[in-house]
Amino acid sequence: MPNYDHRVHAGNAGDVWKHFLLLEVADYLFIPDSSLAYAETHVGRPKYALSTPGDWESGIGKCWPILPFLKNFCYFNIMAEFNPGGLRRYPGSACLVLQAAQRRRSKLQAEVWDIDAEVAEAWRGYSQVAFHLGDGFLGVRSLLDHSPPGLLLIDPPYLDSADMTLAEKLLCRAKDEGWVVLWWCMMGSNTVPQGSFEKYSLKFAQAGLDGGHWDGAVVALAGSDDDLKERLERRICEFVDLTGTAESF
């Protein structure tokens, strides 16, 4: 099976929604002068060069004209810092979380997985992130046996029909171990989490974004406390007041 390559898709409409929520959760969990474990099943590259044409034009590119109104959000603030001279680079999930930790003066114990050797090479030099070349589902399951609870992003490319089942099983186990877990999916007939956990969806057109043949995206959340849920609801409302309308289901 070929490796998934996110380069042409970086910064797309789905990335905007996924990373907005991921950074809101991370910003809540980070405590100054403390440490947080972070894990990611399918990490991709630390950053991406944006070129035209690219899916970013229909995602983060749509948000860029109103960036001054969005800097109150951790995700957009970091995006602005990454691109002081204009939108040219897009940081991946783990890199965004690393930047959020540094802003909070919180130490990040990050362990991430990918099966692509070129992705592994791209992570050389990032001493604060432990990159593992291999199966992220297996790797994170092993990590749960010895790591303190932290934040987990489950973000498979869904090239294998088993990914949905493996993702849900991992989410449930990590939640039982005390982790806060985000599970990412694009909307589709077989790609919406069905479990009894919080699910936040965004219809791209309602937010002024264009997902191409995808109508929207879903992020499932498990292991959160009531304060985090209330924060997310408030922050999502603030976000959609500026960019469109989102729904939670």
CA dihedral 226→231→234→236, nearest 10 degrees, is -110
More confident position, 243 or 121: 121
The model's pLDDT over 151-193, given as tens digits with 9 standing for 90+, comes to 999 999 988 889 999 999 999 999 999 999 999 998 764 566 7
**How confident is the model at residue 248, as a pLDDT?**
46
Does 87 fall in a domain? yes
Does 164 fall in a domain? yes
Domain that holds residue 62: 7-248
**How confident is the model at residue 193, as a pLDDT?**
72
**How confident is the model at residue 1, as a pLDDT?**
47
* pLDDT surpassing 70 at residue 104: yes
Does 237 fall in a domain? yes
Give the number of domains in the chain: 1
Does 151 fall in a domain? yes
Does 2 fall in a domain? no
Does 1 fall in a domain? no
The model's pLDDT over 190-217, given as tens digits with 9 standing for 90+, comes to 566 777 789 999 999 888 899 988 999 9
CATH code assigned at 188: 3.40.50.150
Does 138 fall in a domain? yes
* pLDDT surpassing 90 at residue 95: yes
The full DSSP string for 90-150 is: EE-HHHHHHHHHHHTT-EEEEEEEES-HHHHHHTTT-TTEEEEES-HHHHHHHHTTTSPP-
Does 89 fall in a domain? yes
| Surface-to-core class of residue 211, CB atoms within 10 Å of its CB (0-12 exposed, 13-18 middle, 19+ buried) | buried
* pLDDT surpassing 70 at residue 70: yes
